[in-house]
């Protein structure tokens, strides 16, 4: 009989009792207990009628022999997963033996799951990694399965790694690769580790996780708050544009002006999707359009709404000339009031053709009205940048590229004003304004390299290495994201981003740093700091000890002793 002892998480399989050959003498005959190691039997005990001899093996401190010749092992380790042999010798009758298989099991730790740290696009050209699952300290090696919303997934793309630790236990890791759809934004994933215990199959489940799924908008809505039918002169109106994409798209606002659309995006809130119109008047009426741009697949959607500004009356008299939307009623007792307005607002730019970086641009504004006018210049953020009919822009650059507005006001008629916009587009060779360098990475992981530039005419972006590139353009800005797998060559050479247009070329190098080497350097610094603290502590203790022994005179008493010795 082979006995065993179980501790936390450890279990040994049931052993069979070896039998004796028929016709042999009593069990008082010589008995040998052996273990089969690498197809070679190693003796543990030799038992005769007089003596019990224990051999010097690595089992010596873990095995014991019972009175009934049973062999006990404590504690059990994974190395005990082998065959044990009981051999009985009966002189001329020969030798009989039997063996038993000892199966050792170690329950693994609860599996740990980590979802993909970045967003996963439904338009990904490659099957993306959803999550990773790790099961540690198991014996024998377990299996890992993946589940979505409680249902098991079967993917041939999954990557499984089995590692045997120095302890003999197994660590198994699995990476789930699967395409995603828009509906997976609500899906929950988990992994299950399957292991054996006493010959029975058992399982442990990880926590449930969600992944960040990127998908374009399917619907776009544009609303007027308050309702368009209730808007009156002098009210504040908010246009709210919403889309159901992730991440939220870039919103742009426009107003229809005759046959053209006037861009109002500069007046929208920085968070996007909200356009505030303050103190509206008759000129605020019209058709407004919201346009969404999904950066994932560069798809666009549009939605329009009509805004009607209603006349606000006080009694039977019309509101003054500020709004000008109220027509005096046809009543002979009322006096006709002439309509004061600002007409023919024009903006002229010199030079009117191409503007290069470093040049000077002059903007001129003019309008007609029966009353005196004042002129004010604002940038696209609504900030005032100048007064008067002319605005001079010296040494223009890409940052100067802007939409400027000339606001014409009539001081004698409060609220009477008109505006006209002009766009200043500066041309020049590309300038790289941001790169993801240095970038701390791990070998064999997927990383995204970023290169942002500003240029006009629109530039092209090229990389010195191969990968999956996504490019986004917004007016004079361009951004390129390159997804690559980190290799040793990439760590050594880095990557080069090259941006060019017909006016020139700009290049910048992206450095990749191995996080492992960085962590080792930080460890050295921490050790040095600890050593320095210990040295200071020892030095302080020595000084304190000498002071207590009187070796270092200190304080008033010490000074008095010195003075007394001097006077003598």
- pLDDT, residue 515, reads 79
Which pLDDT band holds residue 234 (cuts at 50, 70, 90)? confident
pLDDT in tens, 118-167: 888 888 888 899 999 999 988 888 999 999 999 998 877 788 889 888 88
Residue whose token pair is 């009607």: 308
pLDDT recorded at residue 521: 57
Residues 237-263: b if buried by 16+ CB within 10 A, e if exposed: bebebbbebbebbbbbbbbeeeeebbb
- Give the residue, 29 or 374, on which the prediction is more confident: 374
What is the average per-residue pLDDT within 174-199? 91
What residues have CB less than 8 Å from 198, skipping those under 6 apart?
Answer: 11, 13, 14, 105
pLDDT, mean over the chain: 80
How many C-beta atoms surround the C-beta of residue 485 within 10 A?
11
Percentage above 90 pLDDT, the chain? 27
Q: Taking 80 as the threshold, does the pLDDT of residue 226 lie above it?
A: no
Residue 377 has pLDDT above 90, yes or no: yes
Q: Which phi and psi (to 5°) does residue 301 adopt? A: -135, 155
Q: How far apart are CA 274 and CA 281, in angstroms?
A: 19
What integer pLDDT is reported at residue 144 of this predicted model?
Answer: 93
As a whole number, mean pLDDT of residues 367-388 equals: 88
What's the token pair of residue 564? 């007394």
Distance CA 151, CA 269 (A): 44
The mean per-residue pLDDT over the stretch 58-71 comes to 82
Does residue 10 surpass a pLDDT of 60? Answer: no
How far apart CA 63 and CA 315 sit, in angstroms, is 109
For residues 66 and 47, what is the distance between their CA atoms, to the nearest angstrom?
12
Res 450: pLDDT = 93
Domain definitions of the chain by residue range:
2-106, 112-214, 220-307, 344-424, 429-510, 530-567
In this structure, CATH architecture of domain 112-214: Sandwich (2.60)
pLDDT of residue 194: 94
Per-residue pLDDT band at 333 (split at 50, 70, 90): very low
Phi-psi region of 80 (alpha: psi -120 to 50; beta: other; left: phi over 0): alpha
Residues 67-96: pLDDT tens digits? 787 888 888 888 888 888 888 887 777 788
pLDDT at 18: 39
522 confidence band (pLDDT: 50, 70, 90): low
Pairing state of beta strands 477-485 and 512-514? unpaired
Q: Regarding predicted confidence, which is higher, 195 or 336?
A: 195
- Which pLDDT score is estimated for 145? 93
- pLDDT value at residue 37: 58
Same CATH topology for 112-214 and 344-424: the answer is yes
* Mean per-residue pLDDT, 191-197: 92
Residue with tokens 């399965």: 145
**Rounded CA gap, 85 and 98, in Å?**
6
**Residue 497 in this model has a pLDDT that exceeds 50:** yes
Alpha-carbon gap, residue 237 to 280, rounded angstroms: 7
Query: What pLDDT is attached to residue 416?
Result: 78
Q: What is the largest CA-CA distance in the chain?
A: 147
Rounded CA-CA distance 46/62 in Å is 16
**What is the reported pLDDT for 401?**
64
468, containing H or E segment: strand 468-474
Share of the chain above pLDDT 70, in %: 81
pLDDT-derived band of residue 27, with 50, 70 and 90 as boundaries?
very low
User: How many residues does this entry show for the chain?
Assistant: 568
- Whether 287 shows a pLDDT value over 50: the answer reads yes
| 3-state SS, residue 13 | coil
Closest C-alpha to 246, from 117, 119, 115, 116: 119
CA–CA dist 350, 338 (Å, integer): 37
Of 434 and 41, which is predicted with more confidence? 434
* Least confident span in 81-85, 113-117, 189-193, 505-509: 81-85
Q: Is the pLDDT of residue 561 over 60?
A: no
User: 301 or 414: which carries more pLDDT confidence?
Assistant: 301
> Hey, is 185 helix, strand or coil?
helix
- Inform me whether the pLDDT recorded for 22 exceeds 60: no
**Torsion-angle region of residue 53: left (phi > 0), alpha (psi -120 to 50) or beta?**
beta
Burial track 352-365 (b if 16+ CB lie within 10 A, e otherwise):
eeebebebebebbb
Look at residue 21 and tell me whether its pLDDT is greater than 60. Answer: no
* Neighbouring C-beta atoms of residue 499, cutoff 10 Å: 24
With 50 as the cut, is the pLDDT of residue 20 above it? no
Tell me the mean pLDDT in the region 106-129: 89
**What CATH number is given for 344-424 in this structure?**
2.60.40.10
Minimal CA–CA distance to 405: which of 419, 391, 393? 419
| pLDDT beyond 60 at 291 | yes
Does residue 9 carry a pLDDT above 70?
A: no
CATH architecture of 2-106: Sandwich (2.60)
Q: Examine the pLDDT at 565 and tell me if it is beyond 50.
A: no
CB 365 within 8 A of CB 406: yes
How far from chain centre, in Å, is Cα 123?
18
Residue 38 binned pLDDT confidence (cut-offs 50, 70, 90):
low
Of 14, 12, 42, the C-alpha closest to 100 is 14
For residues 368 and 343, give the distance between their C-alpha atoms in angstroms, rounded to a whole number. 5
Tell me the CATH number for domain 429-510.
Answer: 2.60.40.10
What's the rounded Cα separation, in Å, for the pair 32 and 96?
Answer: 10
Confidence of residue 197 (pLDDT cuts 50, 70, 90): confident
- pLDDT of residue 7 exceeding 90: no
Distance CA 1, CA 85 (A): 11
CA angle 159, 161, 162 (to 5 degrees): 150
pLDDT confidence of residue 338: 37
The model's confidence at residue 64, banded by pLDDT at 50, 70 and 90, is: confident
Examine residue 373 and say whether the peptide bond preceding it is cis (omega within 30 degrees of 0): no
Which pLDDT value is given to residue 390? 93
CATH number of the domain located at residue range(s) 220-307 in this protein: 2.60.40.10
pLDDT of residue 449: 92
What distance in Å separates the CA atoms of residue 449 and residue 496, rounded to the nearest whole number?
10
């Amino acid at each position: 009989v082979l006995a065993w002892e179980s501790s936390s998480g450890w279990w040994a399989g049931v052993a069979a009792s070896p039998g004796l050959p028929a016709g042999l003498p009593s069990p008082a005959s010589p008995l040998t207990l052996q273990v089969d190691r690498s197809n070679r039997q190693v003796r543990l005990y030799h038992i005769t009628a007089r003596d019990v001899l224990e051999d010097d093996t690595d089992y010596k401190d873990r095995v014991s022999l019972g009175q009934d010749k049973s062999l006990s092992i404590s504690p059990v380790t994974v190395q005990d997963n082998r065959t044990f042999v009981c051999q009985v010798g009966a002189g001329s009758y020969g030798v009989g033996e039997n063996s038993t298989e000892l199966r050792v099991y170690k329950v693994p730790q609860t599996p740990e799951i980590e979802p993909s740290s970045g967003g996963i696009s439904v338009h990904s050209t490659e099957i993306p990694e959803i999550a990773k699952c790790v099961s540690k300290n198991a014996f024998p090696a377990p299996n890992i399965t993946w589940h979505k919303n409680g249902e098991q997934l079967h993917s041939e793309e999954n990557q499984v790694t089995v590692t045997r630790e120095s302890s003999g236990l197994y660590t198994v890791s699995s990476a789930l690769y699967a395409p995603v759809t828009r509906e997976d934004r609500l899906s929950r994933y988990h992994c299950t580790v399957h292991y054996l215990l006493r010959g029975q199959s058992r399982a442990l489940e990880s926590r449930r996780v969600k992944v960040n799924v990127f998908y374009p908008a399917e619907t776009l809505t544009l609303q007027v708050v308050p309702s368009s039918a209730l808007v009156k002169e002098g009210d504040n109106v908010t246009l709210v544009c919403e889309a159901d994409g992730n991440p939220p798209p870039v919103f742009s606002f426009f107003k229809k002006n005759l046959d053209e659309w006037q861009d109002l995006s500069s007046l929208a809130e920085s968070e996007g999707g909200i356009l505030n119109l303050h103190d509206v008047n008759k000129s605020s009426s019209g058709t407004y359009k919201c346009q969404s741009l999904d950066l994932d697949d560069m798809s666009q959607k549009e939605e329009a709404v009509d805004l009607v500004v209603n006349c606000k009356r006080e009694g039977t008299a019309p509101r003054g000339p500020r709004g000008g939307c109220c027509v005096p009623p046809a009543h002979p007792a009322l006096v006709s009031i002439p309509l004061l307005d600002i007409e023919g607002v024009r903006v002229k730019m010199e030079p009117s053709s191409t503007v290069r970086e470093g040049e000077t641009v002059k903007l001129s504004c003019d309008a007609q009205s029966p009353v005196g006018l004042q002129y004010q210049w604002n940038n696209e953020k609504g900030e005032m940048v100048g007064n008067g009919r002319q605005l001079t822009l010296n040494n223009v650059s890409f940052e100067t590229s802007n939409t400027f507005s000339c606001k014409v006001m009539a001081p004698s008629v409060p609220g009477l004003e008109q505006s006209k916009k002009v766009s200043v587009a500066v041309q020049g060779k590309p300038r790289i304004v941001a790169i993801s360098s240095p970038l701390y990475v791990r070998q064999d992981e997927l990383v995204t390299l970023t290169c942002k530039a500003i240029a006009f005419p629109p530039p092209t972006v090229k990389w010195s290495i191969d990968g999956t590139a996504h490019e986004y353009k917004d007016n004079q800005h361009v951004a390129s994201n390159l997804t690559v797998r980190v290799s040793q060559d990439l760590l050594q050479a880095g990557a080069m981003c090259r941006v060019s247009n017909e006016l020139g070329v700009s290049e910048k190098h992206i450095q990749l740093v191995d996080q492992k080497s960085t962590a080792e350097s930080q460890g050295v610094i921490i050790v040095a700091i600890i050593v320095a603290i210990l040295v200071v502590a020892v030095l302080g203790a020595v000084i304190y000890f000498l002071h207590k022994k009187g070796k270092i005179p200190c304080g008033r008493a010490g000074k008095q002793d010195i003075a007394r010795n001097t006077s003598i």
